[in-house]
Amino acid sequence: MELFPRPRTEIAPGAVHVPEWLSPEWQRRLVEACREWARPPAGLRSARLPSGGRMSVRTVCLGWHWYPYRYSRTVDDGDGSPVKPLPGWLAELGARAVAETLPDEPPFDPDVALVNFYDAHARMGMHQDRDELSRSPVVSLSLGDECVFRFGNTENRAQPYTDVPLRSGDLFVFGGPSRMAYHGVPRTLPGSADPGLGMSGGRLNITLRESGMS
């Protein structure tokens, strides 16, 4: 428990950070689920970028497979397997996250989850989540090591931005006028996670989205 609980904060219009939204039980359940999803086929891999490099973050997708910069039902940039399904309970968790943070949004019914794993060296550059046809919110759940989540503006990768510490169990939702904001993860804090979580190190982030595709 925090000596001084971190308050819920609206970082920008439509962008809400809720510390410790997930109970310790939910966090352990999600870590365990991520372990299963990470297994092949269609398991954890570092996506290859058009530049030829690889992302330092490793990702497994549910519902739709994302690779730079599109969605597919099969792992076209890997073993070709069908993407794993997005479980109904995870979609329901996402729906609850939006209902509790952005009550004016229509009901959220995600059909994609990207599960990102960050080892001590991984980071994610500033980008927009722009491969979805839908402009409904993005729901982000963090597990394991703390990170610095950089939440910027909708114009470019540069300032102004806000650095938000995301810790295990935190929820971050960005929709409405913030949906196309640039964001990234400049660093994690290796070893900061609670050992009781059942992760041997690193950070997990789950983003839930509506693809707008069928």
Applying CB under 6 A, the residues found at the interface with ligand AKG are 114, 116, 124, 129, 140, 149, 183, 185, 205, 207
Q: Is 129 annotated as a binding residue?
A: yes
Phi-psi sector, 57: left (phi>0), alpha (psi -120 to 50), beta: beta
Pairing mode, strands 58-62 and 138-144: unpaired
The smaller minimum CB distance to ligand AKG, of residues 102 and 181, is found at 181
Contact flag: residue 131 with Fe ion (CB under 5 A) = no
CB of 174 to Fe ion, least distance (A): 9
In angstroms, what is the minimal distance from the CB of 109 to ligand AKG? 19
Please name the helix (run of DSSP H) or strand (run of DSSP E) that holds residue 25, with its range, or none: helix 24-37
Torsion over CA: 184, 17, 196, 208 (sign) = negative
Decide: is 119 part of the binding site for Fe ion (CB under 5 A). Answer: no
Smallest gap from Cβ 200 to Fe ion, in A, equals 25
Contact present, 62 and 115 (Cβ < 8 Å): yes
Residue 84 structure tokens: 């794993």
Q: Does 194 bind Fe ion (CB under 5 A)?
A: no
Binding-site residue set: 127, 129, 183
Residues contributing to the annotated binding site for Fe cation: 127, 129, 183
